[in-house]
Structure 1
């Protein structure tokens, strides 16, 4: 019998389930889709470096000053005594290690297409969505993570988060128009042959779908599932995005988890 994989995630307070991060949702969805048992350990932002070193997982990139950057999601698999960070690397690991569990997330013949799609989606998504969702994200974090998130993101944008897209402002309205256009562009990719599709890579779910759903559920959770903004999004493109997200309803599960001991 398999021991549960440990998923390291960042807690928030926007929802009872705590899970909010689009990057960690990519791995949570991956595990849920493949039906692999796991348990969550919650890690605050300032503890990610120490936690990563503790479980033996390396940096996923470098900071602007050249220092190593450690990020979540990360997993530790007690069945193979393996630690892996980065959602794409984790998806590949799950496919290779548990090929008989659920569908293949990144079928080998689609590997290059997945990488191209993920980059293209991020490029169109963040032009406007970042300004809309980052302030709300910061507001729902626990104090230690909130301070870290605010400092790093305000350095990134060279502006206070509250000034990125204030509620009721023309700036916010323009970002929403830009974001609607961005999702319409993605919808166009999926309907290039004139037929509507709810899966990026064909007739079954793949990691490409997981990426899209993870960024959208981030917006849903931090803006509020009952918010007018989320309701408006679900009406775009004739309700296409509501139909797309409905495909993931059975995989939106979050365990209680435990706090990290770092």
Structure 2
């Protein structure tokens, strides 16, 4: 599917909002800064390549990130931003062979990431039956946001992202109200929360910090606004049930179960 085409309402899905690292120039490993902490083994400034980034834009310790002290990398989700910026915004020109584009590419990356994150939430909101009364405005918001992602690098750096996010947040809040109508939240989802065996249908996870939250045995299939990054940051087991758009993190050790679920569906 061409990124230059705004998706029709009938074809809309969130596949283009999942990271495809093979089509990216390692942008999250360069553009973003991080500080030495429990999540990262060292300090790195924005615009400086991570020492683990190889010449082919792949991570040299991808299979051992947690063991090497880079847990933060395993819980990051770009929502498909990397391939969009690499292949569409900059038309396949990488920052190593086009030094004059490097800084602009690194500046555009976090802006595009915010737009793609908004698209993720809006697309999910549109998929819900409970939001039927606002489907028209949700479609309009998705179309508007997708068009913004196709702006030139210069236009993107001048974009008023907070203003657009405020408009989107209004729709997301309305979505949450519609989904949770006549129900009261039973669980507080914050860092380190014990959610073992919890039934989380209609739970709204937008902005929730699930780092080290225990989701063992929890049923998240009916929750809303849950992202892969949040799941990657949490703990779970073979009894944890996820929405179909998300996958089990490697450190949960339940890939076999995930494969069985797919083959039986």
TM interval, short-chain normalised? under 0.3
Q: Which has the higher contact order (CA 8 A, sep 6+)?
A: 1
TM-score between both structures, scaled by the size of structure 1? 0.27
**Structure with the higher strand share, 1 or 2:** 1
